[in-house]
Each structure stands twice: as C-alpha cells, then as structure tokens.
Amino acid sequence: MIGLYRPGDSPVHRTPAGMKLVLLLILITAATVFARTPLHLGVAALVAAGLFVLARIPWRIVLEQLRPMVWMLAIIAVFQVLTTSPARAIVVCGLLLFSVALAALVTLTTRVTDMLDAVTRVLGPLRRVGVDPDRIGLLLALAIRCVPLLATIVRDVAEARRARGLQWSMTALVTPVLVRSLRTADAMGDALAARGVDDD
C-alpha cells in the first residue's frame, strides 16, 4: 500500500514534503536513540497515533498499512525473546512498527511527485560532483511503485498456492514470485529503455 496517497486538507497534508521527510528522520532517530523501555515506546506510540488523528486518516487504512508486518514482527519478537528479554523484544518490534507507521503517514499524506521533487531539490548541489538528482528521483519513484506491485504478486501467488492445496510449501510460493518479479523487472527495463532513459 506504499504510495497510496489519500487527498486531504489536514495540517499534515499541508506540510511541505521536504519538511515531512526531515521530521520523519528526526522522529525515527529520536525514538531509536531514546526509547529504551516499553514505557518510552508507549510515548512514541502516542505521538504516532496523534499524528494519524491530526491527518484524519481512518484507522482501517492505518491497519492496512501495518498488517503486512505482523509475521515479520512475530519472527523478530521470538528471536529477541530467546536472545535478550521480553522487554527488549517489545522495544525492538515497537520501534520497527513506529518507523513503518510514520513512513506510511508520510506516503498517505504526500503526493509522490511532491516527495520526489523535494528529494531532487535537496540533492541538487550534488550535480557538481557528477550525481544526477533526476535519476535518483526516478529510482525512488520506481521503488515506491514496485513495493505495492511486489506485494500484489506475492498475494496472487499465495492465493494460487492455497487453491492448489500447497499452502505450506515454500517452494510453491518463492519460485513463482521470483519468476514473476524477474519478468516484471525485465518488462519495466524494456519500457524505460524504449523511452530513452539510458540514452545519455
């Protein structure tokens, strides 16, 4: 669901894209540095919840953004409990959830074009050392587009696997996903080449 912009007129929507990206970096860094206990994590969770309320994003949409992380967080939590402690597992998983939630908030309240324009402007001075900000912007746009595309491929393959009664077979999931992903990447590369992306 990354890149699914939801139009709105909230203060979060009206904040410039560059400012949102800077605040995103500051909040995630601050949470990573200072959140050492579940209590600290609770404060971070309240901040994230408050921002979603301020942006007027429905909770159903919020849960859709975070739901794909459930299995990954479960695996990380088990590993952390076995190697450290339950409190540390809560903090680590909570920080990951907090970071993804804030990133989702930015994408939900910011047009992709505005975000890419902000990144291109910030990287503008790097032209002097041979860096092409426009090309980096294109890479970011492709990354944002490919995340939901890959998620769709995984979901379609998983549904087909269940229909064949192979829901516990990792081979029946991984192999088709890799094949379809590579074919999609080839098609995307051909489309970019046809539009002269690599002419320079």
3-state SS, one letter per residue, for the chain: CCCCCCCCCCHHHHCCHHHHHHHHHHHHHHHHHHCCCHHHHHHHHHHHHHHHHHHCCCHHHHHHHHHHHHHHHHHHHHHHHHHCCHHHHHHHHHHHHHHHHHHHHHHHHCCHHHHHHHHHHHCHHHHHHCCCHHHHHHHHHHHHHHHHHHHHHHHHHHHHHHHCCCCCCCHHHHHHHHHHHHHHHHHHHHHHHHCCCCCC
| Measured distance CA(194)–CA(174) in Å, rounded | 30
Residue 83 has pLDDT above 60, yes or no: yes
Model-level pTM?
0.70
Q: What is the pLDDT of residues 100-112, one digit of tens each?
A: 889 889 888 988 7
Which of 76, 110, 144 lies at the terminal end of a domain, its last residue?
110
Q: What is the pLDDT of residues 22-44, one digit of tens each?
A: 899 899 999 999 988 999 999 99
| pLDDT band (50, 70, 90) for residue 153 | confident
Residue 35: give the domain boundaries. Answer: 11-110
Domain identity same for 94 and 26: yes
Q: Quick check: 65 and 1 in contact, CB under 8 A?
A: yes
Domain identity same for 84 and 34: yes
Whether residue 2 lies inside any domain: the answer is no
Domain identity same for 93 and 51: yes
Residue 198 has pLDDT above 70, yes or no: no
Which of 110, 139, 167 lies at the terminal end of a domain, its last residue?
110
Domain identity same for 27 and 97: yes
Q: What is the mean pLDDT of residues 139-161?
A: 77
Q: What is the mean pLDDT of residues 165-173?
A: 77
| pLDDT band (50, 70, 90) for residue 139 | confident
Residue 1 has pLDDT above 50, yes or no: no
Q: Which pLDDT value is given to residue 200?
A: 56
Residue 50 has pLDDT above 90, yes or no: yes
